[in-house]
Amino acid sequence: MVARSERAIMDVLAGTHTKGLPPRDEILALLHEHTETPGLRKHALAVEAAMRAYARRFGENPDVWGATGLIHDFDYEKHPTPEEHPRFGCAILRERGFPDPVIEAILGHAAYTGTPRTTPLARALFASDELCGMITATALVQPGKTLAEVTPDSVLRKMKSKSFARSVNRDEIEQGARELGVPLEEHVAFVLAALQAEAEALGL
């Protein structure tokens, strides 16, 4: 019993809950191998930034959460249909030994897969994904097209404008915040701040 509990402590100290997760440069290379569209690459970096920030807030592992954000849409460019995305990509991630909770979260971010979002990781990914799209779209209509010009209020206003960035699913942003247990206004402000902190990397 003592040995077992010691091993459990060692696991936590060694961070083996990240077992199977490749280093970030390999994950980025996998993303780039499958995704050439600059906008999709930026979206991946944006969701990574949001996920890292939420991991820190919730006391979770930023590398695991960031990796999940970075790779969640990597199959979308070549396999965008609901029949394939994100199952096609998840099969590749499974082959490469990505941890199950990461794969479950990626499946769960596409509501139509019916995969329940049972972990904070899955709920954070679902909550951040569409919101990152909304924030980026809002930045691109500012005079200087920068994130620095975006305020939480401007994002919330744009969310209410149905003709703006029609492909962004507002219902999913609201549902995501509810599932995550973060009030919508706070969620928008939090993710915006996370993206603004990475504005240079995002080129916005």
**Whole-number Å distance between alpha carbons of 60 and 50:** 13
Q: In this structure, are residues 68 and 126 in contact, taking their beta carbons and an 8 Å threshold?
A: no
Number of residues that bind Fe ion (CB under 5 A): 2
CB of 46 to Fe ion, least distance (A): 9
Nearer to Fe ion, 48 or 73 (CB): 73
104 binds Fe ion (CB under 5 A): no
Per-residue binder mask for Fe ion (CB under 5 A), 60-89, x = binder:
-------------x----------------
Coil, strand or helix at 141? coil
CB of 77 to Fe ion, least distance (A): 12
Side chain identity at residue 67, one-letter code: A
CB of 152 to Fe ion, least distance (A): 21
Encoding tokens for residue 23? 């280093």
User: Residues 6 or more apart from 133 whose CB is under 8 A from it?
Assistant: 43, 165, 167, 168
Range 119-158, binding Fe ion (CB under 5 A) = 129
Nearer to Fe ion, 128 or 196 (CB): 128
Nearer to Fe ion, 74 or 190 (CB): 74
- CA 178 vs. chain centroid, Å, equals 16
Nearer to Fe ion, 39 or 97 (CB): 39
Encoding tokens for residue 178? 């509810």
Nearer to Fe ion, 55 or 168 (CB): 168
**Whole-number Å distance between alpha carbons of 129 and 110:** 10
Residues that bind Fe ion (CB under 5 A): 73, 129
